[in-house]
Amino acid sequence: MKSLLWIRWTLGLLLLCTADADSGRKPNFVFMMVDDLGIGDLGCYGNTTLRMPNIDRLTLEGVKLTQHIAAAPLCTPSRAAFLTGRYPIRSGMAAHGRMGVFLFSASSGGLSQEEITFAKAVKEQGYSTAIIGIYHVNKWNLIVKCYQNADHCHHPNSHGFDYFYGTIMTHLRDCQPGHFLYGHIPYKMQESGPEGIGLVSLALLHIKGMIAVTRRVVFGFLVLVGLVVSLFGVLVYTFPNLNCFVMRGPEIVEQPYTSDNLTQRMTSEAKDFFFYRNSERPFLLFFSFLQVHTGLFASPLFRGRSQHGLYGDAVMEVDWSVGQIMQTLERLNLKENTLVYMTSDQGPHLEEISINGEMHGGYSGIYKAGKSTNWEGGIRIPGILHWPGVLPAGKVIDEPTSNMDIFPTVLNLAGASIPSDRVIDGHDLLPLLQGQVERFEHEFMFHYCNAQLNAVRWHPPNSNAIWKAFFFTPDFYPENSSACFHTHICLCIKPYVTFHDPPLLYDLSKDPTESTPLSPDTEPQFYSVLEVIRAAVSHHAESLKPVPVQVSPLQIVWKPWLQPCCSSLSQKGKTKHFLAKFVSR
Ligand SMILES: *[C@@H]1O[C@H](CO)[C@@H](O)[C@H](O)[C@H]1NC(C)=O
């Protein structure tokens, strides 16, 4: 009897010890972000015609957030906010002008070294970190400097990623052979290009006849035209080389890249990362899909398989990749110790119509408008969190959450301290996900379009209301002849927007489609709600510090002397060695 007790005690202690050792182990992180994917594209968010079994499974086994909000409706600022847990306006990643994203790999702007990304923070806690896919916030030259000369920065990569396989830029139509400038110039104008040149020449001849223009002027003008045309030709010819290349760490390994099988190659890079990582350490992988941004592509295996053209095929390929990643985690017995997060960078690009008239943008479901607007369709993104045994299975949460919440959640789980010398706008999601709290901490959310405060969301603590007040709105309707349609994407500056005073007010809890703005007649609290929102705005404004703008026209513009070019193209198949060098040390 005594010995039995002794055995039970020892066993108990042993169990306690192993449990302790297990709970002390830090979790791994796998984040998957799809470019431009609409919330309405996903089966688990209500789509009945687009099949995504792997992503659906994530929600069945994990938590689905229905009011998950991108910090900005455009890729560069939204990604910067995701990485840092801060509104883009705080890191200088919000533009003051017309253009809010990076367009060239060789531009001088980028996320400042002062910013702390979640990768940097967990790396200091002993994590192996990797990004596979699009970066879109970094100054490429810093990446190279960091790798080549460790003295230039404290981390192999300036923002804390040990391993990088992917592209600096979002995938653009221009990256596809023969597509330069398609989508930027309306198709009609492209067609009439040659006629245009003819007309100009004709006009010139007429002018010559009418007024006495010296031969010299005409000659000079023709030389100038010739120069411009040939420069343009050179640019058209070399553009894919300049912008569309795949890097592995500091080296360009494919230039220009072919989009065929690119997602498959990236998926196998991710698997290699899992296989060859230093298994003594926890890891963080940010898998950032090039799909489903235009120019659309899908591997031969997926082409023609969906009911929704090339767009649907691309989404199916993304789902396949998610499945591969999850299967690998399972095979390596990592599922129970890995927090998986799946999302999009913002809403779908509704104005994307191919030159053949095929819809190349996604679907925002019941929500209004899409990418580059702060209507719900532009900022409501899928938010799926998966961690069997720690997060409940099949739970759905309607509270407002943000893609900035990943930052503090990850830091807390990794044992890193939240930076106290700066404002962090995200909140730790774990108590909400685990059901320890019902209400989340985002009482107010500030919806910026570039650096302009566009709208404010208020979820008062003691009510179910979700007020949203717009100070201005993009001219999105009528859909096919609106300003947004003509400029190919909604812009948030005059004359492309309408200002509202008093602001347009909605209650999203009753009107999620933002169809009927409230008025003092229909909403007794109209003025008092706006009063609270105004006070919140001035409080928020006080917390902003001036920072150098990273997305100004001068920072965005192409700088030939910064152009990454032509490094070793013989790196294919060297993942193993590369990982050995950068991850396992
Ligand atoms: C599913 O997504 C596709 C592709 O974006 C879209 O065209 C379609 O309308 C959606 N279907 C439903 C039923 O939501």
Who's near 75: CB < 8 A, 6+ residues apart? 35, 36, 101, 136, 170, 345, 346
Q: Report residue 143: phi and psi, to 5°.
A: -60, -50
Which atom of ligand 1 has the smallest separation from the CA of 362? 5
Residue matched to tokens 């045994």: 389
What's the gap in Å between 467 CA and the centre of ligand 1? 28
What's the gap in Å between 313 CA and the centre of ligand 1? 12
What's the gap in Å between 376 CA and the centre of ligand 1? 17
What's the gap in Å between 42 CA and the centre of ligand 1? 8
- Cβ-count burial of 4 within 10 angstroms (0-12 exposed, 13-18 middle, 19+ buried)? exposed
Which atom of ligand 1 has the smallest separation from the CA of 50? 1
119: left (phi over 0), alpha (psi -120 to 50) or beta: alpha
What's the gap in Å between 393 CA and the centre of ligand 1? 26
Q: Tell me the best of 41, 306, 315, 317 to mutate to test the pocket of ligand 1, counting ligand atoms within 8 Å of each CB and taking the most.
A: 41
Tokens standing for 460? 């008062």
* Contact call for residues 162 and 154 (beta carbons, < 8 A): no
What's the gap in Å between 366 CA and the centre of ligand 1? 11
Which atom of ligand 1 has the smallest separation from the CA of 365? 14
Q: Residue-wise over 54-83: b if at least 16 C-beta within 10 A, else e? A: bbbbbbebbbbbbbbbbbbbbbbbbbbbbb
For residue 11, what pLDDT is reported?
46
Residue ranges of the domains in the chain?
32-172+244-583, 182-237
For residue 82, what pLDDT is reported?
97
Residue matched to tokens 């590369």: 578
Q: Give the dihedral of Cα atoms 321, 322, 323, 328; nearest 10 deg.
A: 90
Q: Tell me the best of 37, 45, 50 to mutate to test the pocket of ligand 1, counting ligand atoms within 8 Å of each CB and taking the most.
A: 50
Euclidean distance between CA atoms 433 and 440, whole angstroms: 10
Name the nearest CA neighbour of 76 among 27, 136, 16: 136
- Cβ-count burial of 7 within 10 angstroms (0-12 exposed, 13-18 middle, 19+ buried)? exposed
Nearest residue (CA) to ligand 1, atom 14: 47
Domain covering 32-172+244-583, topology: Alkaline Phosphatase, subunit A (3.40.720)
Per-residue model confidence as pLDDT tens for the chain (585 residues): 445 445 554 444 444 434 333 446 899 999 999 999 999 999 999 999 998 999 999 999 999 999 999 999 999 999 999 999 999 999 999 988 777 777 777 777 788 888 999 999 999 999 999 999 887 766 555 555 544 544 334 333 678 888 889 888 788 877 776 665 544 444 334 444 444 454 555 555 555 555 556 788 888 899 999 988 888 777 766 777 777 888 887 778 888 888 888 999 999 999 999 999 888 999 999 999 999 988 888 999 999 999 999 999 999 999 999 999 999 999 999 999 999 999 999 999 988 887 777 888 899 999 999 999 999 999 999 999 999 999 999 999 999 999 999 999 999 999 999 999 999 999 999 999 999 999 999 999 999 999 999 999 999 999 999 999 999 999 887 666 778 888 888 888 888 899 999 999 999 999 999 999 999 999 999 999 999 999 999 999 999 999 988 888 888 777 777 776 665 444 444 444 444 444 443
Q: Report residue 62: phi and psi, to 5°.
A: -135, -155
DSSP string, 143-183: HHHHHH-GGG-SSSSTTS-SEEEEESS---GGGSTT-TTBT
* Ligand 1 pocket at CB < 6 A: 40-41, 47-50, 308, 311-312, 362-363
Tokens standing for 97? 């002008």
Name the nearest CA neighbour of 137 among 286, 272, 261, 242: 286
Nearest residue (CA) to ligand 1, atom 9: 363
Which atom of ligand 1 has the smallest separation from the CA of 348? 5
Which atom of ligand 1 has the smallest separation from the CA of 41? 2
What's the gap in Å between 51 CA and the centre of ligand 1? 10
What's the gap in Å between 360 CA and the centre of ligand 1? 12
Name the nearest CA neighbour of 75 among 111, 36, 39, 42: 36
For residue 289, what pLDDT is reported?
94
Nearest residue (CA) to ligand 1, atom 3: 41
DSSP string, 455-483: EEEE--TTSS--EEEEEEEE---STTTSH
| Relative orientation angle of helices 406-414 and 75-84, to the nearest 10 degrees | 30
Which atom of ligand 1 has the smallest separation from the CA of 361? 5
Q: Report residue 2: phi and psi, to 5°.
A: -65, -45
